[in-house]
Structure formats: structure tokens, C-alpha cells
Structure 1
Amino acid sequence: MSVRERIDQYIADQPPAKSAELRELHRRILAISPDAQLWFLDGRNDDGKVVTNPNIGYGSATLSYAGGDTRAFYRIGLSANTTGLSIYVMGLKDKTYLSQTYGSRLGKAKVTGYCIRFRSVEDVDLDVLEEVVADAMSPGPAGGLS
């Protein structure tokens, strides 16, 4: 199954309201960066154990780890969770960037060092979410990305 097919299946497998919101966010992210590399992570580790929620990924970045290892990964992640939706901005060097730059304008969202979590798209300002995505997907070090 291709990455696009796995993404479509993941979105379709969600409850109807969450599926519609995921589909809308997926469409908006692709409109901002139509040529972005797509990823799908099923949430399982190398041993097949579920360790996280499945994620749709967009773009490509090289993540650096404290031990000096690097890994290719996505720049933006989108995931459904038990209480709503999450958008991940990977590769941020400054863990306060999201909350300081966007937090007060996002609406009813919890913002951590690299995650924006919210119950519904109705709770957040979608124009601001699009700014976050455009910032993260832009080439170079915008937003403290590596």
C-alpha cells in the first residue's frame, strides 16, 4: 500500500467528525506545500509494539540527537488522539518558539515545545495554524528549524 493510500485509510478509519477535520487539515497542509514529501508512521516501534499515535508527516528534515546521530524525518506531523488532534513541528531548536510566536493567537490549544494539541478545528484559528505550517515548511532555519 502506498503512503497516500495509508494516509487515506488512516483518515477514513477515524470517527466521522474527526475524519472530516483530519481531511481538512491534510488538504490545508498540502495546499501550503503541495510538493512536500509525505510520510505515514503507524505508531509502532521496530518490535511492532504501539508506542505512539499514528502520524501523517509532511516535508523532510534531518533531526540531530544528543549523541550525535541524525535521522531523516518529517517537518510537520498530523495526528488524531483520544481528545482531539495534534500538529507536531519537528526539529525546533528553541522549545519556546511555538508558544511565544503563536500561542496567544491559536485559540483553545495546548502548546508544548513542538506540539499544538486541540479538541477541534473549531477551537483554533486555522489561519494561525497555516502560518505555523508555512513557517515550518519554509526552507532554511525559519522558526529555529535545523
Structure 2
Amino acid sequence: MSIEKQIEAYFLTQPEPKRSDLKELHRIILDVMPQCRLWFLDGKDESGKIVSNPNVGYGTHKMRHARGGAREFYQVGISANTAGISVYILGIEDKNYLAQAFGKDLGKAKVTGYCIKFKTLGDISVETLKHAIQCGVEQTSG
């Protein structure tokens, strides 16, 4: 099954309004990153054990490991969680950057080093989220 079909199937497993919010986020991120590589991780490890929520990724960058080495991974990701939706903006060096630069303008969201969590898209400023994604992508491109 193609990555696009896996992503669509994943979205269809989500209840409304989360399903519609995920589809809209997908569209928004593709508008910000139109030529990006798409990823779908089903949340299972090599043995088939569930180790995380499934997630959709966008773009690519070299992710450095704390113990050395690096691997290719996505720049931006989205995932449904029990409380709503998480948006991951990976590879930003300063772990306080997202919260300091965008936290107060996002609306009802929890912002950590690389994750923005919210219940619904209606709870946040979509324009601020788009700006955070653009800034994160700029920091991890090239």
C-alpha cells in the first residue's frame, strides 16, 4: 500500500472531529512543504509490538543521536493522541525555541521542546502553527 493510502487509512481510523482536523493539518503542512517526502510510521517495532502512536511525517533531515551517529527522519510530524493531536517539529537545537517564539500566540496548546499538543484545530491559531512549522523547517533544511 502506498504511503498516501496508509495516511488516508490512518486518518479514517480516527473519530470526528479529530479525523477532519488531521486531514486539514495534512493539507496545511503540504501547503507549507509542497515537495516534501511523506512518511507513515505505524507505531510498531520490528517485532510488531506497539511502541508509539502512529504518525505521519513530512520532509527529511539528519537526526543526530545522543550516543553518536545519525539517521534520516522527518522534519514535521502529526499524530492523534488520547487528548487530541500532536504536531512534532524536529531538529530544532534550542529546546525552548518553540515555547518562547510561539507559545503565547498559539492559543490553547501545550508546547514542549519539539511538540505542540492541542485538542482541536479550533483551539489554536492555525496561522501561528504554520509559522512555527515554517521556522522549524528553515532551521533543519540544508
Name the structure 2 match of 1:130.
130
Name the structure 2 match of 1:19.
19
Displacement of 1:137 after TM fit? 2.3
- 5 Å-filtered alignment, 1:91-110, equals 91-110=91-110
CA deviations on 1:116-137 (whole Å, 9 max, x unpaired) are 0000111100000000111122
Name the structure 1 match of 2:9.
9
Name the structure 2 match of 1:118.
118
**Equivalent pairs, count:** 141
Displacement of 1:39 after TM fit? 0.2
Residue 60 in 1 paired to residue 85 in 2?
Answer: no
CA deviations on 1:56-100 (whole Å, 9 max, x unpaired) are 000001000121110100000001111100000111211101101
Mark the runs of 5 or more structure 1 residues left unpaired by the alignment.
none
**Aligned-residue identity in percent:** 46
Question: What TM-score do the two structures reach when normalised by structure 2?
Answer: 0.95
CA RMSD of aligned residues (A): 1.1
Q: Which amino acid aligns with 1:5?
A: K
Question: What TM-score do the two structures reach when normalised by structure 1?
Answer: 0.93
Q: Secondary structure at the match of 2:99?
A: helix
Residue 46 in 1 paired to residue 25 in 2?
Answer: no
Q: Which amino acid aligns with 2:5?
A: E
